[in-house]
Amino acid sequence: MKKNIKILILSFVLSSLGIYSIQAQNSSISRSLGLYVFPAEGQDAGQQDADETECFKWAKQQSGYDPMNPTVAVAKDVDRSADGSAIGGAAVGAAGGAAIGAIAGDAGKGAAIGAIVGGVRGRRSKVVGDERQQQANNQAAAAETERLAQDYNKAFTACMEGKGYKVQ
């Protein structure tokens, strides 16, 4: 604890004298985008900050995306209302149940059991299908959000490289 305080005081004194400067690691626009920018033509930190601000605005205008207030694509919700799949399943089940019931000696009872089982199966397959569709919609929305961010980063990188910076 005492060692940390001594280092902090020493850093403050040295920075006051201009011998040592403390800079925030993630204060630049490029760092917030996950990019590393190197001034390849001897630009100083002030010039780089000004260039990053200008490129931030330009990339936002070109891409239509603002990384400080990102656009998030929203997944389309699946219509989970009844669509007749339970009724269709019940009809198929009833037919199958009647056939089995006829062999067993009671077609009516077989048809009723088949209708119930078929209805449950039909509804279950609808729910599973709806869930799969919703997952696909969610993945498509996430991919669109990622594409927008990548388009912005491409525009920002092109602008910074045009101003004589190397960007990774």
pLDDT tens profile 26-60: 468 889 899 999 999 999 999 999 999 999 999 99
Contacts of 34 (CB under 8 A, 6+ apart): 153
- 90 located within any domain: yes
Reported pTM: 0.56
Query: How far is it, in rounded angstroms, from Cα 158 to Cα 156?
Result: 6
| Burial class (CB within 10 angstroms; exposed 0-12, middle 13-18, buried 19+) of 144 | middle
- 115 located within any domain: yes
At 87 the pLDDT is 53
Cα 4 to chain centroid distance, Å, stands at 40
- 6 located within any domain: no
- 59 located within any domain: no
- 19 located within any domain: no
3 state SS for the chain: CHHHHHHHHHHHHHHHCCCCCCCCCCCCHHHHCCCCEEECCCCCHHHHHHHHHHHHHHHHHHHCCCCCCCCCCCCCCCCCCCCCHHHHHHHHHHHHHHHHHHHHCCHHHHHHHHHHHHHHHHHHHHHHHHHHHHHHHHHHHHHHHHHHHHHHHHHHHHHHHHCCEEEC
- 91 located within any domain: yes
Between 127 and 136, the more confident residue is 136
Domain count, the chain: 1
pLDDT tens profile 89-104: 555 555 555 555 555 5
- 128 located within any domain: yes
- 63 located within any domain: no
Note down the domain range covering 121: 85-142
> CA 126, 128, 134, 137 torsion: positive or negative?
negative
Nearest Cα to 113, choosing from 124, 126, 99? 99
pLDDT tens profile 130-148: 788 888 888 888 889 999 9
> CA 148, 154, 160, 162 torsion: positive or negative?
negative
